Amino acid sequence: MPAWVKGASTDMDTAIAAAAELLGAARTPVIAGLNAEVSAIRAAYDLAGRVGASLDTLGAAGTYAELGALSRSGAMTSTPAEVVGRADAVLVVGAKPWSTELTGRILEARPSRGRAAGAERALMALGTGAPQAALTVPAEGGLLPGLALLRAHLRGHLAEASPTADLARTLAASLYVAVLYDPAEVGEMGVETIQGLVIDLNETTRAFSLAVPGETQDRAVVPVAAWTTGQAPRTGFGRRVPEHDPWRFDAARQVAAGEADAALWLASVPAPAPGWLSRIPSIALVGDASPEAAEVVIAVGVPGRDLGGVLWNETRGALTYWPARAGGAVAADLPSAASVLSRLTDHLAGRSDTAC
Amino acid sequence: MSTLTLREAPPERLDLLPITPLSLSGLSQGEAERLEIGTSRRGVRLGDIFTVSLDGSDTLTIEGGHERLDQVGAALSEGTLRVNGDVGQRLGAGMAGGRITVSGYAGPYAGSGATGGLITVEGDAGDHAGGALYGAKAGLDGATLIVRGRAGDHCGDRMRRGTILVGRAGAHAGARMIAGTLAALEVGDLPGFGMRRGTLVVGRHGALSPTFVETGSHDLVYLRLLARHLQGLSEAHAALLARPLRRYSGDLATLAKGEIWVAA
């Protein structure tokens, strides 16, 4: 059971006591990362309620670009399986989607279900071109003006001949359009413009948006946060009730401003730790543990490898259980992140009066 | 005039939502000092951080501001609030009336959702000045917001009503505007991106979205009325309207009923 305090190897009880000491002494602790299985994310929210911490996620930039646009204009979304099975026109926005495995699957298949079954599939690019794209619109001024220009053509507000006009015509003539994008790359206003043009396309044909898979468990954090607090992930418990504030509970900002005085980094699904972690007293519960990752480091089992756990399944667009892989560590060797977090919560329960 | 004097830098972000001249006027010295303003689990009371001096009037001065003072004047409905120093996020957010003046810097979301009154920031403001909060329907919603210095990006984002005057604004000023008026001596890239209705008056601007089209120069009675209205708030902004103006219509990606007036 690898655990370290200030770089020195120790046993689990000592490490948990040191972590509890560190969190218990803090005025404004933060719990960040949340790149973990559902049981660990739930335990992190319990711990945050106990110590009055705020929470932040690894993929918050993309998550809030999506949620911000969703809260303002709604969204028409599809799933990877639906797009692979039904889309005859796929618009790829920006550079990031081209490097995902999903785009490969879309390229390999042709529509097999629905109104476009049997048709050819055309991929089109806005922003970054790729050899696989049948049509590329470069968007010299950036993705935002490029998207706005496309939407203006689709609405009939602009009509002069241009590659954007050709793209708009092709999309409007398709039977099932899918727009692929990376929320962190296009930003909130980009997502909103994409949703707007998808809604416009649905006046005459079928169209859906599909955000490409992120490399984080944010899609699992959002529902857990919602069913636990009724809010999106960046929630703080300093005043005992959950307060949602995406600006105030941005962990990097809190550390830079000197507000946070202790941090717990949760990444049972391995992810690079942020640079700010070393600037304040910190605890790391990580799948890939190294003694110098934080002041207190506890190695935990990686869900889907060492232990079973519920993770976001990109292919199915749902939360699914992943059993431990044969050849992973024996469960007794590495504790689950959830069990460490709940021991930490219990340890703090005796000394803290901020139970939520 | 009641006065709150900051004694030390706050150890955590403070929420000054309950602190207005009206709310303090009915309280004794002791009651006011015990008002909870902290945001962490330790908590902080007004008297821990500020020296409180009350006289029951409708004017309150905060001497010595700090970047951690959030929601200053956010519940203001009448009276006057003056801060000699900086403030944090959501200055006057959702206020319904009265006057707020900040001598220093204001954090993000100043004047967000404010439906009435006048907010003046004599220094700079952060991002989203007069812009909408996460999940909120609108940014500035009827109040007047003046930023004498620079405002950050997304100034007036999704504003719905009222007037914003800024010295210089960053990128995306007036983006996704629903309605209202924003005047700036200078704005950054993509002003008015996704605006539905509303009016931007700018001295200089960065890259304009190709979804704005020039619709010529006009001499409208409305502009003269607007100039007269702005004269009382800021002469420099009123002077913009005295120069020859080019009108751009947009954003064609949305309703396209907005306009950007660019002074020559």
The predicted pLDDT at position B47 comes to: 96
In order of start, what are the domains of chain A with their CATH numbers? 3-59+216-349 (3.40.50.740), 64-211 (3.40.228.10)
> Cβ of A144 and B134 within 8 Å?
no
Q: How many CB pairs under 8 A join A and B?
A: 99
CB atoms within 10 A of CB B256: 20
Does the beta carbon of B190 lie under 8 angstroms from any beta carbon of chain A?
yes
> Cβ of B252 and A232 within 8 Å?
no
> Cβ of A148 and B252 within 8 Å?
yes
The predicted pLDDT at position A303 comes to: 95
The predicted pLDDT at position B202 comes to: 97
Cα radius of gyration (chain A): 23
The predicted pLDDT at position A1 comes to: 66
> Cβ of A157 and B172 within 8 Å?
no
> Cβ of A158 and B12 within 8 Å?
no
Residue numbers in B near A152 (CB within 8 A)? 211, 251-253
The predicted pLDDT at position A355 comes to: 43
Q: How far is CA B1 from CA A87, A224, B52, B58, in A?
A: 68, 49, 11, 7
What chain B residue is nearest to A353 in terms of C-alpha separation?
B41
Would you give per-residue pLDDT tens digits along chain A (356 residues)?
A: 699 999 999 999 999 999 999 999 999 999 999 999 999 999 999 999 999 999 999 999 999 999 999 998 899 999 999 999 999 999 999 999 999 999 999 999 999 999 999 999 999 999 988 888 889 999 888 999 999 999 999 999 999 999 999 999 999 999 999 999 999 999 999 999 999 999 999 999 999 999 998 889 999 999 999 999 999 999 999 999 999 999 999 999 999 999 999 999 999 999 999 999 999 999 999 998 889 889 999 999 999 999 999 999 988 889 999 999 876 555 558 999 999 999 999 999 876 554 44
> Cβ of A248 and B13 within 8 Å?
yes
Both tokens of A76, joined, read 């028409």
Residue B197 C-alpha, separation from nearest chain A C-alpha, in angstroms: 15
Does the beta carbon of B175 lie under 8 angstroms from any beta carbon of chain A?
yes
> Cβ of A157 and B256 within 8 Å?
yes
Whole-number Å distance between alpha carbons of A4 and A20: 14
pLDDT digits (tens, 9 = 90+) for B151-207: 999 999 999 999 999 999 999 999 999 999 999 999 999 999 999 999 999 999 999
pLDDT digits (tens, 9 = 90+) for B69-118: 999 999 999 999 999 999 999 999 999 999 999 999 999 999 999 999 99
The predicted pLDDT at position A328 comes to: 58
In degrees rounded to 5, what are phi and psi of residue A313?
-105, 105
Q: Which of A259, A350, A334, A314 is nearest to A103 (CA)?
A: A314
Averaged over B48-52, what is the pLDDT? 96
Residue numbers in A near B190 (CB within 8 A)? 144-145
Query: Which among B39, B175, B207 has CB closest to A238?
Result: B39
**CA A80, A86, A87 angle in degrees (round to 5)?**
85
> Cβ of A148 and B210 within 8 Å?
yes
B149 near B158, Cβ under 8 Å?
no
Residue numbers in A near B170 (CB within 8 A)? none
Does the beta carbon of A81 lie under 8 angstroms from any beta carbon of chain B?
no
B80 near B58, Cβ under 8 Å?
yes
pLDDT digits (tens, 9 = 90+) for A140-190: 889 999 999 999 999 999 999 999 999 999 999 999 999 999 999 999 999
Start-to-end CA span in chain A (Å): 31
Does the beta carbon of B71 lie under 8 angstroms from any beta carbon of chain A?
no
Residue numbers in A near B40 (CB within 8 A)? 27-28, 52, 238
Q: If contacts are CB pairs under 8 Å, which of residues 95-114 in chain B contact chain A?
A: 108-109
B258 near B196, Cβ under 8 Å?
yes
Q: If contacts are CB pairs under 8 Å, which of residues 253-282 in chain A contact chain B?
A: 257, 259
What chain B residue is nearest to A147 in terms of C-alpha separation?
B253
Q: What percent of chain B has pLDDT over 90?
A: 95
The predicted pLDDT at position A356 comes to: 44
Averaged over B247-264, what is the pLDDT? 94
Does the beta carbon of A213 lie under 8 angstroms from any beta carbon of chain B?
no
Q: How far is CA B127 from CA A62, B15, B88, B171, in A?
A: 19, 19, 12, 10
Percent helix / strand / coil, chain B, rounded to 5: 10, 35, 55
pTM: 0.94
Place of tokens 């899609």: A219
A269 near A36, Cβ under 8 Å?
yes
Query: With the CA atoms of A342, A348, A350 and A355 taken in that order, what torsion angle do they form, in degrees rounded to the nearest 10?
Result: -80
The predicted pLDDT at position A324 comes to: 92
